Structure 1
Amino acid sequence: MYSLEISLRYSPFPLSIQKKEYEDIKRIYDEIKDSMNSDNQNSPLIELSCEKVQDKLITVLAKEVISVQIYEKSAVAGGSKRPGFSLDI
């Protein structure tokens, strides 16, 4: 299972969806990245659906996305460490 997590401007909590196939999540990642790079004044809406929670739908305004990341969510990994960067002191 692969997760795609997006962070929105002025929102402290990320939004995430899960897909079974890497190709599906990578396609969505590329679509969001292209929308973020666009200089279009009319920012498109991005609609996301989740395979883990069937009725979960998220729609966001592309210009409000400030970061996006993909990570593999496996049951074997264990632990409570979140993906991304962390500072261990």
Structure 2
Amino acid sequence: MFIIELTLKTNPIPLSVQRKSEEEAQTTYQAVVDAMKAGGNQLLELTCDRQSEKKLAIFADNLAAVQMYEKSSASSSGRTPGFFSMAES
């Protein structure tokens, strides 16, 4: 299972969706990055493969960061990979 984690500019708590395959995760990640590059009020609608009732709708201009990583049972610390830094707006 792969996690796509979104960080909003105004909220330090990340939002995430899961994808079953790496290819699907890469496609979702790239769609989010492309929307961030395009700017404007583009609305991203995402669903979660693991929890089909989980849905997110986010304006691309509210995104501060996106990261993709593989969920592994080996990491039991509860901490996600990568790093987090707040930027001044």
Q: TM-score, normalised by structure 1?
A: 0.85
Give percent identity, aligned residues only: 36
How far residue 85 of structure 1 moved from its aligned partner, in angstroms, is 2.7
Distance 1:82 1:23 in 2: 20
List aligned pairs for 1:1-89, cutoff 5 A: 1-39=1-39, 41=40, 43-75=41-73, 77-80=74-77, 81-85=79-83
After TM superposition, what 4+ stretches of structure 1 lie above 4 angstroms from structure 2?
Answer: none
Distance 1:73 1:63 in 2: 27
How far residue 79 of structure 1 moved from its aligned partner, in angstroms, is 2.0
Which segments of 5 or more consecutive residues in structure 1 lack a partner in the other structure?
none
Q: Give RMSD over aligned pairs.
A: 1.4
Q: TM-score, normalised by structure 2?
A: 0.85
Distance 1:15 1:32 in 2: 13
Tell me which amino acid in the other structure corresponds to 1:45: L
How far residue 38 of structure 1 moved from its aligned partner, in angstroms, is 1.1
Tell me which amino acid in the other structure corresponds to 1:69: Q
Tell me which amino acid in the other structure corresponds to 2:25: I
Distance 2:53 2:82 in 1: 27
Which segments of 5 or more consecutive residues in structure 2 lack a partner in the other structure?
85-89
